[in-house]
Structure 1
Amino acid sequence: MVAHPSIVVSHVSKRFLKRNTHSFKEAFVGWIRGKKVRADRFSALEDLSFQVGQGEAVAVMGLNGSGKSTTLKLISGVLEPDDGNVYTRGRVAGLIEVGAGFHPELSGRENVYLNAAILGMSKDEIDSRFDEIVEFSEIGEFIDQEVKHYSSGMFMRLAFSVAIHVELDILLVDEVLSVGDAPFRAKCAARIKELSAEGVTMLVVSHSTSMVKEMCERGIVLKKGTKIFDGPIDEAVEVLGV
C-alpha cells in the first residue's frame, strides 16, 4: 500500500470490440440480409491494480499491445474502465498523443492559450508564463505560424512545454518524448526530475529503456493486459527483456 497515493488503479479491466467486417459496405449488406455482424471482444486490460504515491516517477512498460497507452488513457479520463475503478488526486495533465488538443488552423500562440486554458490556467496565469513556455519549446520564430505546418517534433515541444508550466499534480507522458533531438529530450528528462522533486507525480510510457531508467525509480511491466512485475526500474527493464 502506497502512503498518500496520487493514482489508484483498482481491479481495472478494459475491453474493446474487434469487428470482423472489413468495411461499412459489408456491414450494411450484412444488415440488409439480416446477418449479424460478428464482433470479438478484445481484452486490453484485465484486473489491473497498482498505486502511485505523490512525487513518484513510474514507468509503465511492455511490448506493443500490452495495454500501456490504454492504462494512461484510463487514468487521464479519456477512457472509462469496464470493471474496477481509477482514482486520481489533483490536477492531471496528459501528453498522450503528439499534438492532441491542438487546433490545426490556429497559430502556436493561440494554441498555447487554448491548451493552457483546457488544463485549468487563467488568462493572467498564461500571460505571466507565456514567454517561459515559448522559450522552453525552442520554437519562438514559429509561434505565430499555424500549427498545421508544424512537424511532429514542434508539436511535441510546444505541447510538453505547456503541460509542464501548468500548476499540476500528475503528469502522464506517452511516448511523445521520443520525438525530437537528443538535447531537447535531455532537457525534458531534467525538467521531469525537477517536477518530481517538487512533488508532481509522473507516469511515463516509453520504449526507450535508457530514458525511463534516467527518469523513473520504479517500473510496472504489462504483458497482454496484465501486470507481471512492479518494482525497481532496473529489475523492470530486465523483466521486459529488451
Structure 2
Amino acid sequence: MSSNEIAIKVQGLGKRYEIYDQPGDRLRQFLFPRLRNLFRLSHKQYFREFWALTDISFEVKRGETVGIIGRNGSGKSTLLQIICGTLTPTTGSVQTNGRIAALLELGSGFNPEFTGRENVYLNASVLGLTKEETDARFDDIVAFADIGDFIDQPTKTYSSGMMVRLAFAVIAHVDADILVIDEALAVGDVFFTQKCMRFLRNFMKKGTILFVS
C-alpha cells in the first residue's frame, strides 16, 4: 500500500507511567541513579511501572472511519492523545499524513480565563490557521456553535454543553484531513448532536475519522 494512502500509521506503540508511592520517591529516583552511576553502585527503582498501552499497531487509510471501543481505563484516550501529539509514546511510533483536528477531553485546549472569541483564535492558530483565515471563518464558527453573547464571556462560565459546541465548531472549520473525536460529544444536547452528525457524514466523503466510544 502506498504511503500516500495511509492517514495514520501506528507501530509497536506503548505508553508507560511511573507510579510513586511517596512524594519523596520521585526525588530519590531523580537523584540516586546519578549518584549510583558515579560510584558504580547497583541500581534501584523507586517507582512501579504502569503500562497504559503495550505493542499497539494499526493503519487507517485515507477516507476511512474507524471506531475504537473499550472499557473505561483501557487506554483509548491515551492512544488518541499520542496520535494527536499531546502525549509522547514510551515505545513505538506514530505517523500521520495531513492536518489533524481533535475533540478530546472536555475543555482541553481552552484557556478558562479567555473568552470564547479568544479561544477560537487560540485553537485555530494551534491547528494551523492564520489570523486572516480565522477572521474569514469566525462568523461561521460562531453560527455553528450557536452560543449567543457567551462568545465574549470567559469559557470558565460555560456549561459543558456550551464548551463542546464551541470546540466542535472550531474543528469543523479548519479544513482538517483527519478528525480525532473522543467521547466529549456525549454531553451535547440532541439538536447539536444531530448537527455534528450531519457534518461528520459530509466529512466522511473526503476525510478520515478516528472515533472513540
Normalised TM-score (structure 1): 0.76
- The CA distance in 2 between the partners of 1:42 and 1:187, in whole Å, is 39
Matches within 5 A, 1:58-77: 58-77=66-85
Match of 2:207?
200
Letter in 2 for 1:201: T
Letter in 1 for 2:73: G
Unpaired stretches in structure 2, ≥5 consecutive residues: 33-43
- The CA distance in 2 between the partners of 1:2 and 1:187, in whole Å, is 35
Percentage of pairs with the same residue: 49
Q: CA RMSD in A?
A: 2.2
Unpaired stretches in structure 1, ≥5 consecutive residues: 207-242
Match of 1:133?
141
Which residue among 157, 168, 193 is the counterpart of 1:149? 157
More helix by share: 2
Matches within 5 A, 1:181-200: 181-197=189-205, 199-200=206-207
Matches within 5 A, 1:20-99: 20-21=21-22, 24=23, 27=25, 38-99=46-107
* Residues 1:9 and 1:138: Cα distance change in structure 2 (over 3 Å): same
Q: Which runs of 4+ in 1 moved over 4 A?
A: 26-31
Q: Report the Cα offset of residue 140 of structure 1.
A: 2.0
Instruction: Name the SS of the counterpart of 1:104 in structure 2.
Output: coil
Larger Rg: 2
Instruction: Name the SS of the counterpart of 1:10 in structure 2.
Output: strand
Does 77-86 or 161-170 show the bigger shift? 77-86
- The CA distance in 1 between the partners of 2:113 and 2:26, in whole Å, is 35
- The CA distance in 2 between the partners of 1:91 and 1:138, in whole Å, is 25
How many aligned positions are there?
A: 199
Match of 1:7?
8
- The CA distance in 2 between the partners of 1:29 and 1:10, in whole Å, is 33
- The CA distance in 1 between the partners of 2:104 and 2:191, in whole Å, is 21
Instruction: Name the SS of the counterpart of 1:44 in structure 2.
Output: strand
Check whether the contact 1:2–1:52 (CA below 8 A) recurs between aligned residues.
no
Check whether the contact 2:20–2:26 (CA below 8 A) recurs between aligned residues.
no
More strand by share: 1
Q: Deviations over 1:160-210 (max 9, x none)?
A: 11011001111111111111111211211221111111x21111112xxxx
Normalised TM-score (structure 2): 0.86
Check whether the contact 1:175–1:205 (CA below 8 A) recurs between aligned residues.
yes
- The CA distance in 1 between the partners of 2:154 and 2:129, in whole Å, is 22
Match of 1:121?
129
